């Protein structure tokens, strides 16, 4: 991670990229790609918590192999996610910290240090943004604050995109229901639009058997 890139200019570039999309998955991909590229780190990943399984689900990653990504579920009660309830967490050596759930896999991936920042929206823990470095890194308060800011921005953008999509889907459903009801109410009977006198005379005719 290069110190000279940890500034407002980088933050502005990344937030601009995020603001150009309203799709949650695209926002997540733009975020991890931009952070990895701008900070010259090994990789970056974005997780959101699944309340039903209590696992952190990977939404997007950049710079990490498929083998590492598919190493297994990230249990929030066993991993560093539990510690994230209290704030960002910096790990200097992934092989020497009990909160790392998959230390061997991390070593094979070439990960030395890790910084994980929580995504908290309306006081609720929603996920985490993680950055991975290939060389041991002692994260400073500036590093932590910078990544935490990006985590919050990305998290809120993804959350808003999902909310907007859900709202749009609900509106589309209501429109479909309304169109169906309107179509039913405008269906004509055989005598609709026919003068009453004519319709009555037709109704008075005897029925041939």
- Is 205 a residue whose pLDDT tops 70? no
Distance CA 69, CA 135 (A): 20
Q: Is the pLDDT of residue 45 over 50?
A: yes
Q: Is residue 184 part of a domain?
A: no
Give 209's pLDDT tier (boundaries 50, 70, 90): very low
Which tokens sit at 153? 């921005």
Give the residue numbers spanning the domain of 146.
3-165
User: Is residue 37 in a domain?
Assistant: yes
The pLDDT assigned to 44 comes to 95
pLDDT digits (tens, 9 = 90+) for 146-187: 888 888 888 888 777 767 655 555 665 666 676 666 655 555
Q: Tally the domains of the chain.
A: 1
Q: Which residue, among 121, 143, 117, 148, has the nearest Cα to 130 in the 3D structure? A: 117
127 lies in some domain: yes
Q: pTM score, two decimals? A: 0.70
- pLDDT tens for residues 105-156? 999 999 999 999 988 888 888 888 999 999 999 888 888 888 888 888 888 8
Q: What is the CATH number of the domain that holds 60?
A: 3.30.450.40
190 within a domain of the structure (yes/no) = no
Beta strand pairing call for 113-121 and 124-133: antiparallel
93 pLDDT above the threshold of 90: yes
């Amino acid at each position: 991670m290069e110190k000279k890139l940890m500034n407002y200019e980088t933050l502005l570039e990344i937030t601009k990229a995020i603001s150009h999309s309203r799709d949650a998955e695209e926002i997540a991909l733009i975020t991890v790609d931009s952070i990895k590229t701008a900070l010259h780190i090994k990789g970056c990943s974005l997780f959101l918590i699944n309340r039903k399984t209590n696992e952190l689900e990977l939404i997007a990653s950049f710079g990490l192999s498929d083998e590492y990504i598919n190493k297994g579920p990230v249990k929030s009660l066993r991993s560093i996610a539990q510690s994230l309830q209290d704030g960002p967490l910096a790990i200097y050596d992934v092989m020497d910290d009990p909160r790392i759930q998959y230390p061997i896999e991390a070593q094979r991936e070439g990960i030395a240090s890790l910084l994980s920042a929580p995504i908290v929206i309306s006081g609720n823990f929603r996920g985490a943004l993680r950055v991975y470095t290939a060389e041991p890194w002692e994260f400073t308060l500036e590093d932590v604050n910078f990544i935490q800011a990006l985590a919050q921005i990305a998290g809120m953008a993804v959350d808003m995109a999902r909310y907007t999509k859900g709202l749009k889907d609900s509106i589309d459903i209501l429109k479909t229901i309304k169109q169906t009801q309107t179509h039913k109410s405008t269906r004509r009977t055989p005598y609709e639009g026919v003068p009453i006198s004519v319709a009555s005379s037709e109704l008075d005719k005897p029925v041939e058997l």
